Chain A
Amino acid sequence: MRIATCVLVTYVLLVVLGAVWMRLGFLAEAKPAAAVMAAAYLGLTARSGVAGAVGGAVVIGYLADLIGGTPVGLTAVVCGVICLIGHLIQRRILVRGLGATLGFAFFVGVSAQLMVVLLRAVFSQPMAPPLRELWFVLLSGVATAVIGPAVLRILRRIDAAFARTHRERDAALEGIAP
């Protein structure tokens, strides 16, 4: 139920972001990886098993593909992989505080865009010149860092709402879950 709520809220977030972002002149070229950020969060906070989190992440990626107009499955694959990576490093990092959140979001954005480039290369899709691709990777990192704290805050609120104890709730709000 928690994952389904996260998916639904992320979907609404993607719709809103899609409408708002294109009006931001200076950052319109950069694409924030909100879906990937949510997928990373699902991986970081996966409790009982990773399969549910990966499933949720894939669905989020699928919805992002449909809303964003990217080939169906591209963001879904990236979201699934990022979710897995998030689950693997969940016991080694603590995303807490603004600095850490910004850094984490930037890392997620850059990783996601690099993965997109890799997938396009694997599937022999047209590519921009390397410097241009690199510029987009950096822009994506910056854009994701801009929205990252807000996305994590929303998802933490959802986690807090589904907490079974006060301790879990506080941990979710503090960003030290699970």
Chain B
Amino acid sequence: MTLRRRVVDWVLAALLLVIPLVVLRSSLRAPEEVSTVDEAVLRVSAPLQAGVSWLVDGVGSLWSRYVGLIDTEDENRELRAENERLRRDLAAERRRAFDVEALEEMVGIKQRTPADTAGARVIAGELSPFYRVVRIRIDRGAPEVSVGMPVITSAGLVGRISKIYGGHSEVLLTTDTQSAVDVVIRRSGARGVLVGEGAADAYRCRLEWLERSSEPDGEAPVQVGDIVETSGLGAAFPAGITVGHVASVVDKDYGMFQDVTVKPAVDFGQLRGVTVLLAPPPPPDPDAEKKRRSESAFGLRPY
């Protein structure tokens, strides 16, 4: 290469370097301006870039969906184990919450009830072939409780203590055939005796000795939905404890009494904690409202 040609080559190279410098200067001054050449190049580049991006995305997706799933089995196993552990924890927490709710309920009953009470935890339940609770056992026994004491919850009457085994007791439910509770219909005041049906597949009682209305057009002593509560007679249960509500009434054309079925207010399958009424509430003082006047003793008057 001759010297002249080399000089021309270098001068040309220098000029070629100056051109982008000028372009850079102008593009920095007005960056928003796009020249025709720029636009043409970008028009050509855009579909190419889009195609390449689509291809890369496709390959990436193939990788992440199939090839990248190598560790998924291990991850899946770990997640299953974690899920199982969390389920166990959740079940334990639910049980705990349930117990807390039962305890809160017992505390509420204790505060509302004027009689001496003792909270008890249900520790066992005898089930019927249809998974209905027919008898429960509580963690209170002698000498705190004795046979015949009423057992209640906030919903109503559960039954009474039937047997005591040391520190534990068995509760005879109101649905048991051996149970008999003197009750009254809250709306009409009609009285009867609530006897358990002992049905294996349902919690149900029967109201016996409930008199029919003596007048043909008179108000019915019992209707479906009526609240049934203890009457207090017989001294076995204090008066006013809800027992259940009337589920059905069969008004017979003959006889003095009606066939009434009562559904207990308490769901025996959900019992976790109960309250035992240790003693009946103290009778109200009849003279509480009266003003008392001190009598003089030995003729002297207090000053």
Neighbouring A residues of B9 by C-beta, 8 Å: 49-51
- Set of chain B residues within 8 Å of A18, measured between Cβ atoms: 49, 52
> B45 and A15: CB pair below 8 A?
yes
Question: Number of B residues whose C-beta is below 8 Å from A?
Answer: 31
How many pairs of A and B residues are in contact by the CB < 8 Å rule? 86
Contacting A at CB under 8 A, from B1-25, are: 1, 5-6, 9-10, 12-13, 16-17, 19-25
B49 touches A15 (CB 8 A): yes
Minimal Cβ-Cβ distance residue in B for A20: B56
Q: Report which of A20, A63, A74, A81 forms a contact with B24, defined as CB distance below 8 A.
A: A74
- 10 tightest A-B contacts by CB? A73-B24, A76-B20, A73-B23, A51-B12, A49-B9, A19-B52, A54-B13, A72-B27, A73-B20, A80-B17
Which residues of B approach A to under 8 Å, CB–CB?
1, 5-6, 9-10, 12-13, 16-17, 19-25, 27-28, 31, 35, 38, 41-42, 45, 48-49, 52-53, 55-56, 60
Sort chain A's interface into a size bin: 20 to 34
Contact A66 B49 (CB under 8 A): no
Q: How far is the CB of B171 from chain A (nearest CB, A)?
A: 66
Q: Which residues of B contact A50 (CB under 8 A)?
A: 9-10, 13
Given A18-B49, A71-B24, A71-B31; A63-B17 close (CB under 8 Å): no
| B11 nearest CB neighbor, chain A only | A51
A1 within 8 A of B: no
Enumerate chain B residues within 8 angstroms of A20, measured Cβ to Cβ.
Answer: 52, 56
Query: Which chain A residues lie closer than 8 Å to B48 at the CB level?
Result: 12, 15
A69 CA / B230 CA spacing, docked (Å): 88
Give the docked Cα–Cα distance between A19 and B58 (Å).
12
